Structures are given as C-alpha cells and as structure tokens.
Structure 1
C-alpha cells in the first residue's frame, strides 16, 4: 500500500514555490425576483438595501409554481398541492393537536384549538419542493455584473436596459417556466487561501512571498473582485447567452486579470454556497447542484498549479 505522505510529497515536489496564494470570493446575500418585477417600483422597494449591494446578476429559467389546493388527511396531516412546470407535487405538514383545515372566501387556512389562523409559508414550501422533491431548478442563461464608480451601480441598474434580457424574453419562455433573476452580493472583504509546500523547488522566497501576498492580495479592490467573480462563474457555468470569458478565462491578455497576475495569484476561487437558495442551479455544462465552487488556475505551467492538483 502506498504511503499517503509519499503520494503528497510526489505531487508537490515539482512545484515552483513553497508559498502560493489564491483569491477567494463568495456570495453572502441574494435577491430572487421575476424578471418582469424590475419595472415595478413597489416590487423592487421591498428588497431595500440588499439590492444596492448586489453587483452580480444571473438571468435564468425557473419552473412556474402555482398553489393548487390543500386537504387534511387522517392522523393530523396537512397536504398542500402545487403545480410545478405542469406536474403536481405534494408536501405534507404535521398539524397541531386539535387544528383543522378550513376554506373560506377562496383562501385556505389552518385554525388551531385556540382559534389562531396560520398556513405554511410559501418560501418554506418552495425550499422543501427543491430539497425533498428535487422539483425546483434554475437554468443559468446569462451572468453579468454592474459596479460603476465606487460601487455606484448595482445589478438592477444594469438590467433595466439590458439587451440580452430583452433578447431572451423576446425569444419566448417555455410553457410552465418563467424568466427569473438571481442577484448576488459578493463578500465585501478579501479572502486569501495559502498553500505552504516544503517540497517545492524554490524554498528560499517563502517569507517574501507571504509578505507579498498579504500586501498585494489584500489591496485587491472590490471592483476587481466583482470582475474576477463574474468571469470565474461564466467560465464555470458556460451560460448559453454569454460570449466573453466562456473560453478565454483565465488569460494573461485580459484586462480583468492584469492586476491579479501582477499580484502573483496562483488561482481564483468563486463560490455560490448559500444554504437558503430555493433551487439547484445548472447549465448544459454543469449538473444541478445547490452549491457551486468555480476553481481556476491562473498559470498554465504545472509547476504553479498548487491548489487543484
């Protein structure tokens, strides 16, 4: 049996430097809305400050979800029915002791023994439809960003006059689906991952490279991080309507990466890992998953690929 430590040493012995850094980026908050809602001031207003910090936008298709009714089963069980992209899906909920299902004035509700009314929250129901029945998915069609000067523009500003959004709408939405938007806030601080490799060819520059990483990487601006995050996700998802970055990221001749190479990053990592998302994201290139991690080496030579070997 091969000694794991020997395998690790074998993988790392041909690497160039004993210290390598990667820039990490992840989404911290989000807004989901129908594409048509961006023209409705009241609909937009309910998201308040969250929208102002969302600089990444994802245009995609989600199944249409319609509440189809409810019934009560023996044993104190509430059953709610939904039409999801034309298919009937049911969720079961335990009823409190003595509670009854009622229908009045075209509304369903549960009344408990003390007369209090309630009903399962729709957001919780959609999350359960995704997690338990695998019924909710989000097909990524286009990824973009808006930042402006010092973060003065957000994703919504860009989408209001977005040609690709209009193009997708005009080409028609499949029956049972609707065009939705996922707006993401990227964490407002720099995250750095560092690999220490005692088997590297060059072990004399470790201290300098640590200092350089701290000095340069932590001076990465928010605008740079937003741009790299966008490019990383496009390269990873390969969305149908994106053109730039799908096949050219990473590349040394791209302006978006110029400072990254100057700061000597070895890799970039962009994550969408939000437990609360009520769907699994996918494209033809990426299978449906709740969490996505886009990892890209910035150097072609094997000696600089220290993170994803």
Structure 2
C-alpha cells in the first residue's frame, strides 16, 4: 500500500511592521504557518502622487539589493471606483499610506501597494525567506513558551537588520486543504497500514474541526524549512529519509511515501526565494518522499531512485512549473487595504485620524450622501462694500456662511474649495462668482482644468474670458500675471475700483489643469503670491489638500489656502486646513 499526502497553503496576510508578543499572537491567530522574510525598503514618494480620473499615479523608490543604488518606479492604481478617491497621505517616511474612497478609508503598506500596481514585478515583490515557524492556527494550542520563543526569534531578526535598509515581513499562512491519494511516484509497493490512507484516526487532518492536525502542521513546517533552508532555522533544515522525525514515521506507517506541499500564490503579492531556492515566485510546490531502500542520499526533495512516469504525471510531479504558473496567473486580490483586512496590520506609530470616528461605514456613507446633496440655500447677491463680504449659503449647523473678498488691509484673498466628486464644489464656486460679480468691482476669468464643465454655456454672457482647454488657460494665466506685475510697478495703481476693476481667476479642477500642463505651476505660484496686492484673486476647486493637487508645490498650496477654504463631503477638514497653511 502506498499513497501521497497533498496539502495546500494560502496566504492570510503579509504584515510589515514591528510586533510585540501580544500583537504577534493576534496577527497569527487565524493561521498555521508563518514566514519571516526581508527585502530592501520600498518607500512611496508622497509628492509624486497624482490623481487622474479613475487612476492614481505615484512613484516608489527601492533597491535591487542592499548594496545597489536606489531606483524609482512610476506606477498606476487604476479602477472605475477611483473617481471618488482623494486625500492621499503617507506615514513613517513613506512606508505606509492612506487615501479616502468615498466614505471609506483605504490604508496599508506601501510595499503591498507597489507590488499590486506593478503586477508583482520581481524587483519590487521578491522577498528572501529568513525563518519559518508554526503558528498552530485557529483554535490551536500554542502555549506561552511557544509564543515567547516565536517573538524572541522575530526580535532577533529585527535587531540584526536595524539601520540596514531592510523591511521585515511576517506572512501568515492557513493550511486550507488536505488530499490523500492511493498512489505515489514509485512503481513498487511496500508494507504499511492499508487503512492509513483513509486517515480514520484523523492523524493528518481533523475532519470534525475542519483544520489540520498537529502532525500535519509539523510535517508542513518541516517540508518548508527543508525546501527554503532559511538562515534563522537551526533544525529541520534537511529532509532525511534515513533519519526520519516522529511525524515522518507516522506518515510512513500510514502508507504515505510522498508529501506534496503547495504554497499557493493566490492573493499573494510576495515572490519568495532563499539561498537554497534561487527562483523568486509567488507559488511554490514542495516535494519530499520516504522511499524504500535503495534510495539516493539527498538532503531535500525526492530520494527515490526509480520514479514512475505515469504515476508522476497523474500527480503532476512532472509539471511543477505548470502548477507554479497557475499561481502566477491567478488574480491578485486587493484584500490588504480595506476594512476587511486585519486591523493589527497598522503600525502603532501611524495615527489615522479616521480611527477616532466610531460610526459604521454605512453611517458615514449616509452622511456623505447627505452632505453631497445639500443645496446652498442661496438667497441672492448681498455683497457688502464696507466689509467686502457676501453670503454663500447655510452651513450644516444652520448658520450663514460668508466669503470675504479682502482682508483688513484691503488685500484680496485667494481661495480653495475642496471636496470629492459630486460634493458641491461647482455649486459653491458658482455662488462665489455671483458674489464677485455683484460687487461691480471684478471681471471674471474662468478656466476649466479638465474640460469637464461647459463654462461657455453657463457663463458666456457674464464672463470676460473663458479658457476651456490647457492652451487657453495658459494664455489667460500669462495675461493675469502680466497685469499683476504691471500694477506692482505702477505708482498710479491705488487698488481696485469700478474704474480699475479687479480680476477673479476661477479655475475648476486645478489638479487636472496641472496634470495636463505641469509647467503652469510656476505661473500659478507667482500669481497667487503677487495677485492679492495687485487686484487679482485666484480661486480654485480641488478634491482635497494632497500636495499633488497643487502640482507638488507647497508654495502654491499655502498661497491659495491662506484665504478661503470650503470643505464638502470630507470628514477631517481641520487636518486639511493645516495642510493648506503649511509653508
């Protein structure tokens, strides 16, 4: 009687953070095997983030190895739902990120995002296996001693890699299935328990608990360690048929001479390799046997001298690369960044303000819809020439909202209107333009940064200039800068009046304008700096305060944000205000 044990492992989650003993236990509580690995640091460059319709573009920097030079990779995250994306932030020197997707918050490791967007590009996804251990798994019996030793090993790896330019990862795997075949790779037959393959004693799988047995977990741990030969594992680094472990003897006594362990690449972003396994792949198929004598003296893998062709074909032992390829082509599941991902994935040093909001996602989505559909309750133009104020509607708290055209020194204010798509930015800008027109002191110059708004139909009779494409916007911006520069040196200029009107430069979707024409950033910077004293006010709409929305210019963001800021449909407006005020 001869048979084969076939196990499959699937990734639960890959963590990139430092753990204390308790948190490590929580991270591994749902898994059976864990792998500690390393790779050169991957860091996301926040200033590189650019939002496009249904796409986020960004850059990461990393090394091929610890001694190589840094290389930058430009990547895209594309999806239909990303038209609601905004407020992209990075933490811990670019190792962690977050962004909003409607009412939800997406966050996770920058390495995982880069690996996903690069389709697990080798230079980004490869990780070297350093240690493999047992986690015992769901309802397992991991005791205090095992938990302590596990944490001590991880801490030693952390300490050995501090300040070395490495990221350390802990990947938790579940053993999801066990198959028993009444055939193996050898033509002959030998003694053994003919009922062993039925596994009625549940030695190799706990059918009632629907989980692997302790013997199974130990066999798989041994198989993986012998295969990868990690440097921090000091035992089980060889699979010796001539010197079997207790679990190997149990396998042999039950009639199993071959074990196949499939480390599935489904849902995994890491390409694992080691000093023993040179090829970095997402899936690995591990084969070990306990054949009868005579056998080849090997330290791992198959030691049987005569392998049956048809039996090997039946078990797909002659097509290991094909099995691995299936894992390589499997869909990569974005389960690492949403609310279903483990909460313990976030490093404790990362402070996500969103976490203080204890409402459910459904409650936040409901409020988002409510905010997004609120009408301004605009009662008509009411510009006050003495204060330079006009009302723009009613706020959520029921109080009247005002726009101040100038400050106490009669210097014009620039303005930023923020909010995700469909949150009311355009309506707010429309009301503001009416206020400026009602003053009789401004002529409106209007720009459409993304070509999404029919400004000519709406403002054709009221606007002095409408720019509906990047070239027209460049001409308009150049003219506004020239007028502002001229007034700065004109001693006769005494401020705006009906005779010498000011200019309101209002741009819808500034971020799209700068995305299409990044060379305009410098002109916008200059105008936002000299315009207020020269009778030119700049008002723009953007989805959020991310620096990329302002062409990567802190100067432009600060110059525009020092005046009016209106936030629609975003729940942490105070933090966005702080961004705008940052120098």
1:270 to 261, 267, 275: 261
Instruction: Tell me the TM-score normalised to structure 1 length.
Output: 0.70
Distance 1:249 1:130, change over 3 A: farther
- Structure 2 residue corresponding to 1:290, chosen from 282, 289, 292: 282
1:153 counterpart (139, 142, 151): 142
Measured on the aligned residues, the alpha-carbon RMSD in Å equals 4.2
Match for residue 80 of structure 1 among 45, 58, 63: 58
Q: Using the alignment, how far apart are the partners of 1:216 and 1:108 within structure 2?
A: 49
SS in 2 for 1:32: strand
**1:34 to 2:19 alignment:** no
String of CA shifts for 1:6-37, please: whole Å, max 9, x gaps. Answer: xxxxxxxxxxxxx6311111213423223522
- Measured in 2, the distance between the counterparts of 1:125 and 1:233 equals 27
Is structure 2 residue 237 aligned with structure 1 residue 255? no
Correspondences of 1:1-309 after superposition (within 5 Å): 20-34=2-16, 36-39=18-21, 41=23, 51-69=28-46, 70-72=48-50, 78-85=56-63, 86-94=70-78, 122=108, 123-129=112-118, 131-132=120-121, 134-147=123-136, 151-153=140-142, 158=147, 162-173=151-162, 175-187=164-176, 190-195=178-183, 200=187, 209=194, 211-215=195-199, 219-221=203-205, 222-286=213-277, 287-299=279-291, 300=295, 301-302=304-305, 307=312, 308=317
The superposition leaves residues 105-144 of structure 1 with CA deviations (integer Å, 9 ceiling, x where unpaired) of 9899689xxxx58898655543223524641222101112
Q: How many residues align?
A: 275
Deviations 1:150-178 (A, max 9, x none): 82118996266544333323323463322
Q: State the shift of 1:295 in Å.
A: 0.4
Give how far 1:239 is off. 1.0
Q: Could you list the per-position Cα deviations for residues 237-295 of structure 1 after superposition, in whole angstroms to 9, with x for gaps in the alignment? A: 11112222223434444223121111121101112113211110010111211101110
Is the Cα–Cα contact under 8 Å of residues 37 and 168 in structure 2 kept in the other structure?
A: yes
Given that 1:63 and 1:137 are in contact with CA atoms closer than 8 Å, whether structure 2 keeps it comes out as no
Distance 1:180 1:72, change over 3 A: closer
- Higher-Rg structure is 2
SS at match of 1:37: coil
Going by fraction, where is strand more abundant, 1 or 2? 1
Question: CA contact under 8 A between 1:54 and 1:183: conserved in structure 2?
Answer: yes
Distance in structure 2 (CA, Å) of the matches to 1:89 and 1:184: 29
Asked if the contact 1:57/1:144 (under 8 Å) is kept, the reply is yes
Cα distance in 2 for residues equivalent to 1:34 and 1:108: 15
CA separation of 1:264 and 1:29: change in aligned 2, threshold 3 A: same
Asked if the contact 1:137–1:280 (Cα under 8 Å) also holds between the matched residues in 2, the reply is: yes
In 1, Cα distance between the equivalents of 2:153 and 2:107? 34
Distance in 1, matches of 2:74 and 2:145, equals: 34
Listed as ranges, the gaps of 5+ residues in structure 1 are 1-18
- Is contact 1:54-1:155 (8 Å) kept? no
Shift of 1:64: 2.5
In structure 2, the CA distance between the partners of 1:264 and 1:62, relative to structure 1 (3 Å rule), is same
1:234 Cα deviation (Å)?
0.9
Please give the alpha-carbon distance, in whole angstroms, between the structure 2 residues aligned to 1:218 and 1:253. Answer: 21
